[in-house]
Structure 1
Amino acid sequence: MKILVIGAGWLGTQLATQLKTDGHELWLSSRSTTKSSAVAEQFGHFVLDLGQSIRPTPELESLFKDALIICTVPASRSDGEGYTRGLAQLATLMKQLGAAACIHLSSSGIYEGLSGEVNEQSQLQLADPRIELLAVGEQLLRVAVPCCTLRLAGLIGPGRHPARFLSGKQAGAADVAVNMVHSSDICAAVSAIVQQQLWPELFNLSSPQFCSKAEFYLTACELASLPAPVFETKSTATPSRRVSSAKSQTIAGFHYQFESALAALPFCS
């Protein structure tokens, strides 16, 4: 299958490597030619800047036609309008140029404001601007072509060690649940989804077993030989949010390599 990964960043490059190993034809986009030499050594490369107005060209049509599009564009905390405008452009291109389907890497941050266990059917707090931004982004791609939306928990893996996030800082309550997912588990899930063409669909991707924020970050900092964060002594008044991965565990041929985020820590750098 021809697959276009929109965004040749940390996760997009890992996904492309896995999918190329699976035997697919891979193309990665970047916003400029800066990354083209490094990317082109392993994959096809094309420039696509969703922050600018894009006109369909014969070259883009030949790329998008009958391709699976994987969107790894993160939601911006500083430019929400730019994010939705960019995804709207991508949605238009997919429809106009005949893309076959899309896998959208969204965020489990869409469940912000909820407590206890949340799943793909949980009612979202859409009055929150950040949550509305994520929901609008999902909807833009979902209505363009058949789309599998993946709501990713916090990202960890090679080149993204969680100890760096909170080392030596005030870290809030100690007993809240940590929702994390290792990049290798994301790659394995996407590989299985592509193989079975599971779209349209919606899955959370998060390590199935929960651990506390204190346990996770204290262990992470110890392993990385970094100063520990400082946690509050009082407990949280309401149950913390725990992202359920039960549905993703039903994907045939997929299982989490790291059942717990704690087990993934030695495989982060």
Structure 2
Amino acid sequence: MKILVIGAGWLGTQLATQLKADGHELWLSSRNVTKSSVVAEQFGHFVLDLAQSVRPTAELESLFKDALIICTVPASRTDGDGYTRAVAQLATLMKNCGALACIHLSSTGIYEGLTGEVDEQTELLLTDARIEVLAAAEQLINKAVPCCTLRLAGLIGPGRHPARFLSGKQAGLADVAVNMVHSTDICAAVSAIVQQKLWPELFNLSSPAFCSKAEFYLTACELASLPAPEFEPKNTAAAPGRRVLSTKSQKIAGFSYQYESALAALPFCS
């Protein structure tokens, strides 16, 4: 299968490596030519800057036609309009150029403001501007082509050690759930989804077993030899945390989480 990964970043390159090993034809995009020499050593490469106005060229039309598109464009916390425009342009390209389908890497940040257990059927707080941006992006792509939306928990893995997130900082409540997913598990899930052509679909990807925020970050900082974060005293009046359930993704045939809990993934982060 011809697969185009939009974004040759930290996760995009890992996904491309896995899918190439699966026997697929891989192309990666970057926003400018500076990355082309590095990417082109292993994969096909093309330039696509979704921050600018994009017109479909003959090259893009040929690449997109009948291809599976994997969208790794990250949602910006400071430029929601820019993210929406980028996704809208990609959706238009896919539709107009005859793409086969899309795997859209969204975020479990879409559940912000909610407490307790949340899953793919949970009603979202669309009055929140950031959540509205994430939901709108999901809808744009789903309307363009058949889409498998993956809502990813916090990203950890090689080159992305969670100790750096909160080391030496105020870290909030200690006993709330931490929702994380290792890049190895993301790659394995995407591999199984591609093999079975599971689109349209929606899955949360998050390590299944509960792990408290304090246990996770204290262990992470100890392993990385970094100063520990500081947590607030336990407050029984505080709102409960949010736990992202990944029960549905655990039913994907041929896929299982290598790291059942985020704590188990820590030795495999760097």
TM-score (norm 2): 0.99
Deviations 1:78-124 (A, max 9, x none): 11111101110000000100000000000000000111100000000
2 CA distance for matches of 1:27 and 1:12?
A: 10
Q: Secondary structure at the match of 2:136?
A: helix
Alpha-carbon distance in structure 1 between the residues aligned to 2:179 and 2:40 = 34
| Contiguous gaps of at least 5 residues in structure 1 | none
2:26 aligned counterpart, secondary structure: strand
Q: Matched residues in 1 for 2:239 and 2:130: separation?
A: 22
**Secondary structure of residue in 2 paired with 1:204:** strand
Match for residue 161 of structure 1? 161
* Amino acid of the structure 1 residue aligned with 2:111: Y
Per-residue CA shift, 1:125-146, capped at 9, x if unaligned?
0000010010001000010000
User: Counterpart of 2:59 in 1: which secondary structure?
Assistant: helix
**1:208-223 equivalent positions in 2, closer than 5 A:** 208-223=208-223
1:101·1:145 contact (CA, 8 Å) conserved in 2? yes
Q: Distance in 2 between matches of 1:55 and 1:227?
A: 49
> What's the counterpart of residue 240 of structure 1?
241
Q: Cα distance, 1:235 vs. partner?
A: 3.0
Tell me the distance in 2 between the aligned counterparts of 1:94 and 1:157: 30
- Whichever residue aligns with residue 229 of structure 1, its letter is P
Question: What does residue 84 of structure 2 align with?
Answer: 84
- Show the counterpart of 1:27: 27
For the Cα contact (< 8 Å) 1:174–1:235, is it kept in 2? Answer: no
1:48 aligns with 2:57: no
**C-alpha distance in structure 1 between counterparts of 2:168 and 2:157, whole Å:** 21
**Distance in 2 between the 1:80 and 1:223 partners?**
35
Q: Distance in 1 between matches of 2:5 and 2:13?
A: 8
| TM alignment of 1:111-150, pairs within 5 A | 111-150=111-150
**Helix, strand or coil at the partner of 2:66:** coil
Contact 1:19 1:191 in 2 (8 A): yes
The residue type equivalent to 1:20 in the other structure is K
Return the offset for 1:210: 1.1
Q: Which residue in the other structure is 2:100 paired with?
A: 100
CA distance in 2, matches of 1:235, 1:14: 40
Q: Match of 1:173? A: 173
Residue 262 (structure 2) aligns with: 261
3-state SS of paired residue (1:186): helix
Paired residues of 1:167 and 1:227 also in contact (CA < 8 A): yes
Tell me, in whole angstroms, the C-alpha distance in 2 between the residues paired with 1:165 and 1:91: 32
Deviation per residue, 1:176-215 (Å, 9 max, x gap)? 1100000000000000000000000000000000111000
Task: Report the TM-score, using the length of structure 1 for normalisation.
Answer: 0.99
User: C-alpha distance in 2, partners of 1:154/1:54?
Assistant: 30
Distance 1:70 1:200 in 2: 13
How many Å apart are 1:77 and its aligned residue?
1.1
Consecutive aligned runs of 4 or more in structure 1 exceeding 3 Å deviation: none
Task: Measure the CA separation in 1 of the matches of 2:269 and 2:190.
Answer: 20
Look up the equivalent residue of 2:235 and give its one-letter code: S
| One-letter amino acid matched to 1:208 | P
Q: Would you say the 8 A contact 1:5–1:26 is kept in 2?
A: yes
Amino acid at match of 2:155: L
Between the aligned partners of 1:256 and 1:14, the Cα distance in structure 2 is: 17
2:199 pairs with 1:199 = yes
Q: For 1:191 and 1:225, how far apart are their aligned partners in 2?
A: 34
Please say if residues 7 and 73 of structure 1, whose CA atoms lie closer than 8 Å, have aligned partners that are also in contact.
Answer: yes
SS at match of 1:198: coil
Q: Counterpart in 1 of 2:230?
A: 230
Name the CA distance, whole Å, in 2 between partners of 1:169 and 1:189.
33
How many angstroms apart in 2 are the aligned matches of 1:227 and 1:258? Answer: 25
